[in-house]
């Protein structure tokens, strides 16, 4: 099976795909020019749906303007957890048509889709109608003008509430939660607008009401960036130094006040060269330290990472990937920094590379990364991305036992302290400044066990072997990958593509095709043996990722972790991977083999 | 009763890589003298550097230390000070490390005003890479890399430190170790970022700097806390005078408070 990227599946494949049962969920998009309140409307809908007992996922997309640009929110709701966008949208609420074509690719519509818009907004752009979506134009802005403090977006939200079966009570709670800080008048006006909107009678194309699950369990509403920050705090990070960069800055803005509450601190650095070296200094000082950045920043940090490797100073770098290279697409997602994270460092520089599998998993993977970095006195690069970081999830709270692991520290009684002493697990006790009797100078120069600079071959070999062995010999347990299902088809994936692959597997299984998903959380060091074992009986092996060149695919081949028959499904960002496209690709391949 | 700490107590058994006659030896001994004078315990002190001849200094002092990458000594030092504010943090290095590749960090460390003392051993040359012009080299100094001289006006470390917001600006000379020790002492005592430029001759690539011994004169004014006055004096100066030029109390970066909340409470914020 070697389908190429441009291969068009034959029509029978398409038929088969069409009959695949999909996860029952509702997808809603909201678009509008700056100031139209599209994002606020989305946040309120997400809140209301979560109060009504549903799970939800909300991603966002924006034009390049700092203020006043067009924006879109893309949401998906279900009675069971959802972590990614669907193939298509059921409803588009368009506040206006301002540059909406920009989002046409991101919001696929079909004949079952309903467009709700303002009757005064003018003609609907043709791309939105080309697949037969049905449009209902309502007097949203006109009616808003007749209400005191009325805003068209609140009327639109009222229409969505009716379509989705939300109660006035849920809407009122959502308004208070979202706008409460702005005062009673704003809240009352918004509620009045929503309730007026709920009086519109809109003939839908389908029933959009979901069956709610029990609401007994408390749910969280969290973004991937907040989740990465939280995981880091859970792991013990108490010092952060960083330079602002989209789409990672939200991690820092969430952490800054919370670090303060926990007795930690955050330095805004003058650049990323400073931030990486500042956290090396902080960690040398004994405090678990991290920074957050995106591709351009990670590029600048690479020399510093080598210093942390050689001096065995634990640091964590949260890299929230965006479209690259260079400035690329700062506001949109792509999984294309894997090569940099794996291979960027000069010299032989063993380090850890991890990736969270979905927004909720950002908490776990972030905490685990800190824990590993501290235990192994190693660099950990965590590859999140914009589609995780700047999206929100309504989810069950994280449910796992934390990691109560700390770095090995030399105490004052240590005799003849040697910072880089060879030990059984190749990890040596780190002395913290302030501790008497264990003074040493950390160094980026190669050194001997004591830490004295050395250019001797024997010292270089010994210390390189030490740094390599401490990562290679460590038992990472079961967390290296999330493995699900079994059968002849294997999907190997990483990071944010994992949730999509999970959905692909569900659809394939529902049509009788047994599928296994191996979602890699620990990318380096790679558990080659375990991965080989998991896929050895699979006839179709597809490596799924969101970049152009198939970075994971080539890495797995280089490590001889996958056989020659494995194929690559790699698509660049910023459009999200669609489960339906991957299902088609796999079925085409399977049938080509038959 | 604890014994008095002597300068030699800070000595390590690592032999410096420096050439005979290098000015950096004087900074090393001025530093150990000052630490002993202040009776600072080895474990209370961290000496942080980047890359270059003078940046090798941390290995020669028995305290905590970090010999990092080129140009980033101040970033390392700032992170350490933020994470462990009780440490006495001293950053050291050369003119290439501090003013060229690390120039940005120099300005922002002055602005940030953390309680760090920064000693730059300035020999107007890249010594470790065997003799190329540095930011403080004269424009007509000829090297293999610049056969006609660099043609670029020298960087003005004191003026930059002052205008970037440093509250302690001084210049010392390796040929006057006790004067230098005094400046280092004042720098360590100063609350906030203290910048000390040390004229530190390079006998190998800049043998003409042997003349500094005759040329260097004391700074002809008292220390001022007026930045405008200090600026005009610095701009009128030829660069071979030593003393504490400017000192002013400015708001110092303060470490954060003790923990006031728990993570469990913070997590409540995510509940719907």
B2 found inside a domain: no
> Quick check: A214 pLDDT over 80?
no
Chain-wide mean pLDDT for chain B?
97
What pLDDT, on the 0 to 100 scale, is given for residue B8?
A: 96
Distance CA B61, CA B90 (A): 12
> Quick check: A217 pLDDT over 80?
no
Our measurement of the distance from residue A208's CA atom to the centroid of its chain's CA atoms, rounded to an integer in Å, reads 27
Q: What is residue B170's three-state secondary structure?
A: strand
CB-based contact A441:B65 (threshold 8 Å): yes
pLDDT tens digits for range A155-203: 999 999 999 999 999 999 999 999 999 999 999 999 999 999 999 988 8
Looking at the complex, report in whole angstroms how far the Cα of residue B269 sits from the nearest Cα belonging to chain A: 9
Facing residues of A519 across strands?
A482, A493
A chain contacts of residue B79, beta-carbon cutoff 8 Å: 239, 241, 267, 277-285, 289
Three-state SS string over A424-440 comes to CCCCCCECCCCCCCCCC
Maximum alpha-carbon separation in chain A:
84
A chain contacts of residue B116, beta-carbon cutoff 8 Å: none
Closest by CA to A267, choosing from B253, B202, B27, is B253
Distance CA B70, CA B76 (A): 11
**pLDDT band for position A216 (50/70/90)?**
low
B5 found inside a domain: no
Closest by CA to B54, choosing from B87, B8, B19, B100, is B19
What pLDDT, on the 0 to 100 scale, is given for residue A69?
A: 82
Instruction: Tell me which chain A residue has its CA closest to the CA of residue B271.
Output: A220
> Quick check: A213 pLDDT over 80?
no
Closest by CA to A232, choosing from A254, A217, A214, A210, is A254
B12 found inside a domain: no
**pLDDT band for position A20 (50/70/90)?**
low
**pLDDT band for position A513 (50/70/90)?**
very high
Of A147-161, A194-208, A406-420, A488-502, which gets the smallest average pLDDT? A194-208
Instruction: Tell me which chain B residue has its CA closest to the CA of residue A47.
Output: B272
Chain-wide mean pLDDT for chain A?
93
Instruction: Tell me which chain A residue has its CA closest to the CA of residue B107.
Output: A270
Are residues A51 and B67, on separate chains, in Cβ contact within 8 Å?
A: no
Picking from A230, A277, A441, the nearest residue to B76 by CB comes out as: A277
pLDDT tens digits for range A237-287: 999 999 999 999 999 999 999 999 999 999 999 999 999 999 999 999 999
What pLDDT, on the 0 to 100 scale, is given for residue A387?
A: 97
Q: What is residue B216's three-state secondary structure?
A: coil
Looking at the complex, report in whole angstroms how far the Cα of residue B201 sits from the nearest Cα belonging to chain A: 25
B chain contacts of residue A233, beta-carbon cutoff 8 Å: 263, 266
Percent of chain A at pLDDT exceeding 70: 95
Strands A522-524 and A352-354: antiparallel
Facing residues of A319 across strands?
A293, A383
Question: Mutating which of A281, A374, A398, A402 best tests the B interface, going by the most B Cβ atoms within 10 A?
Answer: A281
What pLDDT, on the 0 to 100 scale, is given for residue A11?
A: 43
Per DSSP, the residues of A179-246 read HGGG-HHHHHHHHHHHHHHTT-----SS--PPPPPP--S--EEEEHHHHHHHHHHHHT--EEEE---T
Picking from A221, A234, A241, the nearest residue to B79 by CB comes out as: A241
Rounded to 5°, angle at Cα B39 from B33 and B43: 100
pLDDT tens digits for range A224-241: 999 999 999 999 999 999
Instruction: Tell me which chain B residue has its CA closest to the CA of residue A238.
Output: B83
Picking from A263, A273, A287, the nearest residue to B75 by CB comes out as: A273
B191 found inside a domain: yes
The order of strands in the sheet holding A481-484 is A481-484, A515-520, A489-494, A540-545, A567-570
What pLDDT, on the 0 to 100 scale, is given for residue A99?
A: 87
More confident site: B200 or A218: B200
Are residues B65 and A440, on separate chains, in Cβ contact within 8 Å?
A: yes
Maximum alpha-carbon separation in chain B:
76
Are residues A261 and B256, on separate chains, in Cβ contact within 8 Å?
A: no
pLDDT tens digits for range A392-406: 999 999 999 999 888
**pLDDT band for position A5 (50/70/90)?**
very low
Q: Which of residues 253-312 of A touch B (CB under 8 A)?
A: 258-265, 267, 269-271, 273-287, 289, 303-304, 306-307, 311
B1 found inside a domain: no
Our measurement of the distance from residue B254's CA atom to the centroid of its chain's CA atoms, rounded to an integer in Å, reads 21
Of A217-221, A313-317, A526-530, B240-244, which gets the smallest average pLDDT? A217-221
Picking from A238, A277, A279, the nearest residue to B68 by CB comes out as: A277
Are residues A394 and B272, on separate chains, in Cβ contact within 8 Å?
A: yes
B chain contacts of residue A452, beta-carbon cutoff 8 Å: 14, 59
> Quick check: B91 pLDDT over 60?
yes
The verdict on A233 touching B (C-beta cutoff 8 Å) is yes
For the question of an ipTM over 0.95, the answer is yes
In angstroms, the first-to-last Cα distance of chain A is 9
Distance CA A190, CA A142 (A): 16
Are residues A433 and B67, on separate chains, in Cβ contact within 8 Å?
A: no
Picking from B64, B78, B260, the nearest residue to A439 by CB comes out as: B64
**pLDDT band for position A84 (50/70/90)?**
very high
pLDDT tens digits for range A352-393: 999 999 999 999 999 999 999 999 999 999 999 999 999 999
Structural domain tally of chain B?
1
B195 found inside a domain: yes
CB-based contact A72:A60 (threshold 8 Å): yes
Taking phi first (over 0 means left), then psi (-120 to 50 degrees means alpha), and beta for anything else, what does residue A400 get? beta
Find all residues with CB under 8 Å of A166, minimum gap 6, and list them: A48, A49, A52, A160
Strands B241-247 and B217-218: parallel
B15 found inside a domain: no
B chain contacts of residue A50, beta-carbon cutoff 8 Å: 272
**pLDDT band for position A215 (50/70/90)?**
low
Phi, psi of A404 (to 5 degrees): -100, 55
CATH number at residue B171: 3.40.50.970
Distance CA A21, CA A286 (A): 53
Picking from A219, A394, A441, the nearest residue to B67 by CB comes out as: A441
Closest by CA to A353, choosing from A367, A336, A334, A340, is A340
> Quick check: A308 pLDDT over 90?
yes
CA distances from A458 to A308, A423, A463, A483, A511 (A): 21, 17, 9, 42, 60
> Quick check: A140 pLDDT over 80?
yes
> Quick check: B67 pLDDT over 70?
yes
What pLDDT, on the 0 to 100 scale, is given for residue B185?
A: 98
Domain range for B217 is 23-268
> Quick check: A17 pLDDT over 50?
no
> Quick check: A535 pLDDT over 50?
yes
Instruction: Tell me which chain A residue has its CA closest to the CA of residue B16.
Output: A453
What pLDDT, on the 0 to 100 scale, is given for residue A592?
A: 85
Find all residues with CB under 8 Å of A589, minimum gap 6, and list them: A1, A2, A3, A540, A542, A567
B chain contacts of residue A218, beta-carbon cutoff 8 Å: 271-272
A chain contacts of residue B67, beta-carbon cutoff 8 Å: 441-445, 453
> Quick check: A16 pLDDT over 70?
no
B17 found inside a domain: no
CB-based contact A159:A194 (threshold 8 Å): no
What pLDDT, on the 0 to 100 scale, is given for residue A23?
A: 65
Picking from A241, A269, A304, the nearest residue to B69 by CB comes out as: A304
What pLDDT, on the 0 to 100 scale, is given for residue A324?
A: 96
**pLDDT band for position B98 (50/70/90)?**
very high
Picking from A233, A439, A443, the nearest residue to B67 by CB comes out as: A443
Are residues A221 and B270, on separate chains, in Cβ contact within 8 Å?
A: yes
What pLDDT, on the 0 to 100 scale, is given for residue A384?
A: 98
How many CB pairs (< 8 A) connect A and B? Answer: 184
Picking from A47, A264, A452, the nearest residue to B272 by CB comes out as: A47
What pLDDT, on the 0 to 100 scale, is given for residue A35?
A: 84
> Quick check: A594 pLDDT over 90?
no
What pLDDT, on the 0 to 100 scale, is given for residue A587?
A: 94
CB-based contact B37:B46 (threshold 8 Å): no
Are residues A270 and B108, on separate chains, in Cβ contact within 8 Å?
A: yes
Looking at the complex, report in whole angstroms how far the Cα of residue B243 sits from the nearest Cα belonging to chain A: 30
Looking at the complex, report in whole angstroms how far the Cα of residue B25 sits from the nearest Cα belonging to chain A: 18
Are residues A304 and B71, on separate chains, in Cβ contact within 8 Å?
A: no
Mean pLDDT within A451-470:
98
**pLDDT band for position B2 (50/70/90)?**
low
Looking at the complex, report in whole angstroms how far the Cα of residue B167 sits from the nearest Cα belonging to chain A: 19
**pLDDT band for position A62 (50/70/90)?**
confident
CA distances from B207 to A144, A355, B16 (A): 83, 55, 20
Distance CA A31, CA B208 (A): 71
What are the structural domains of chain A? Answer: 25-197 (3.40.920.10), 221-395 (3.40.50.970), 478-593 (3.40.50.920)
């Amino acid at each position: 099976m070697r389908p190429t990227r441009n291969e068009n599946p034959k029509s029978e494949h398409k038929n088969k795909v069409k009959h695949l049962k999909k996860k029952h969920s509702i997808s809603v998009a909201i678009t509008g020019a700056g100031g139209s309140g599209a994002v606020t409307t989305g946040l309120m809908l997400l809140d209301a749906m979560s109060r009504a007992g549903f799970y939800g996922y909300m991603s966002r997309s924006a034009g390049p303007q700092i203020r006043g640009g067009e924006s879109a929110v893309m949401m998906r709701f279900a009675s069971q957890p959802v972590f990614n966008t669907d193939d298509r949208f059921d409803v588009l609420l368009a506040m206006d048509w301002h540059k909406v074509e920009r989002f046409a690719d991101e919001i696929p519509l079909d004949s079952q889709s309903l467009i709700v818009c303002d009757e005064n907004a003018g003609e609907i752009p043709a791309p939105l109608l080309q697949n037969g979506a049905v449009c209902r134009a309502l007097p949203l802005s006109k009616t808003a003008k007749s209400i005191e403090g009325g805003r068209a977006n609140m009327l639109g939200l009222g229409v969505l509430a009716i379509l989705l079966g939300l109660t006035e009570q849920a809407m009122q709670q959502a308004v208070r939660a979202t706008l409460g800080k702005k005062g009673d008048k704003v809240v009352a006006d918004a509620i009045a607008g929503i309730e007026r909107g709920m009086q519109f009678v809109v003939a839908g194309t389908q029933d959009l009401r979901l069956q709610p699950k029990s609401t007994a369990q408390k749910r969280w509403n969290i973004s991937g960036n907040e989740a990465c920050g939280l995981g880091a705090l859970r792991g013990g990070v108490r010092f952060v130094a960083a330079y602002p960069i989209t789409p990672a800055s939200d991690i820092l803005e969430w952490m800054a006040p919370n670090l303060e509450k926990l007795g930690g601190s955050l330095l805004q650095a003058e650049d990323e060269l400073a931030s990486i070296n500042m956290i090396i200094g902080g960690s040398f000082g004994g405090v678990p330290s991290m920074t957050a950045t995106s591709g351009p920043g990670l590029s600048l940090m690479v020399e510093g990472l080598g210093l942390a490797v050689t001096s065995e100073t634990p640091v964590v770098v949260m890299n929230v990937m965006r479209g690259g290279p260079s400035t690329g697409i700062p506001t949109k997602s792509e999984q294309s920094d894997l090569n940099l994270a794996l291979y960027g460092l000069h010299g032989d520089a063993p380090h850890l590379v991890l990736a969270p599998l979905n927004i909720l998993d950002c908490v776990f993977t972030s905490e685990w990364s800190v824990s590993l970095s501290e235990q192994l006195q190693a660099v950990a690069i965590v590859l999140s991305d914009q589609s995780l970081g700047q999206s929100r999830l309504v989810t069950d709270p994280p449910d796992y036992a934390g990691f109560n692991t700390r770095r090995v520290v030399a105490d004052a009684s240590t005799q003849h302290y040697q910072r880089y002493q060879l030990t059984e697990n190749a990890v040596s006790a780190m002395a913290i400044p302030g501790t008497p009797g264990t003074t040493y100078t950390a160094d980026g120069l190669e050194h001997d066990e004591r830490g004295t600079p050395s250019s001797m071959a024997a010292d270089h070999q010994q210390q390189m072997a030490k740094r390599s062995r401490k990562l290679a010999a460590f038992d990472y347990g079961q967390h290296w990958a999330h493995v699900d299902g079994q059968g002849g088809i294997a999907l190997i994936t990483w990071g944010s593509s994992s949730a999509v692959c999970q959905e692909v597997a569900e659809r394939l299984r529902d049509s009788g095709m047994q599928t296994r998903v191996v979602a890699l959380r620990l990318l380096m060091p790679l558990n080659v043996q375990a991965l080989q074992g998991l896929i050895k009986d699979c006839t179709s092996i597809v490596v799924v990722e969101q970049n152009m060149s198939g970075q994971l695919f080539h890495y797995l081949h280089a490590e001889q972790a996958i056989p020659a028959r494995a194929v690559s499904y790699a698509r660049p960002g910023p459009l999200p991977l669609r489960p339906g496209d991957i299902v088609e690709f796999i079925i085409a391949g399977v049938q080509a083999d038959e | 009763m604890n014994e008095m700490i002597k300068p030699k107590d800070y000595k390590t058994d690592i032999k410096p890589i420096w050439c005979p006659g290098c000015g950096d030896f004087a900074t090393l001994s001025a530093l150990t003298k000052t630490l002993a004078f202040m009776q600072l315990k080895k474990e209370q002190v961290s000496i942080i550097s980047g890359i270059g001849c003078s940046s090798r200094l941390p290995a020669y002092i028995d305290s905590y230390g970090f010999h990092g990458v080129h140009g980033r000594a101040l970033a390392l030092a700032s992170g350490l000070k933020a994470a462990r504010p009780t440490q006495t943090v001293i950053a050291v290095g050369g003119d290439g490390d501090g003013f060229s590749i690390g120039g940005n960090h120099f300005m922002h460390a002055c602005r940030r005003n953390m309680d760090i003392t920064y000693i730059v051993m300035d020999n107007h040359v890249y010594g470790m890479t065997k003799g190329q012009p540095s930011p403080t080299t004269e424009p007509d100094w000829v090297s293999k890399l610049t056969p006609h001289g660099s043609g670029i006006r020298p960087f003005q470390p004191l003026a930059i430190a002052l205008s970037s917001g440093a509250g302690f600006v001084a210049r010392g000379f390796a040929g006057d170790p006790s004067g230098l020790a005094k400046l280092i002492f004042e720098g360590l005592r100063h609350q906030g970022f203290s910048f000390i430029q040390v004229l530190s001759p390079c006998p190998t690539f800049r043998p003409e700097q042997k003349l500094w011994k005759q040329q260097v004169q004391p700074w002809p004014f008292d220390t001022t806390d007026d930045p405008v006055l200090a600026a005009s004096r610095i701009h009128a100066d030829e660069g071979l005078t030593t003393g504490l030029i400017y000192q002013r109390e400015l708001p110092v970066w303060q470490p954060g408070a003790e923990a006031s909340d728990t993570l469990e409470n913070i997590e409540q914020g995510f509940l719907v």
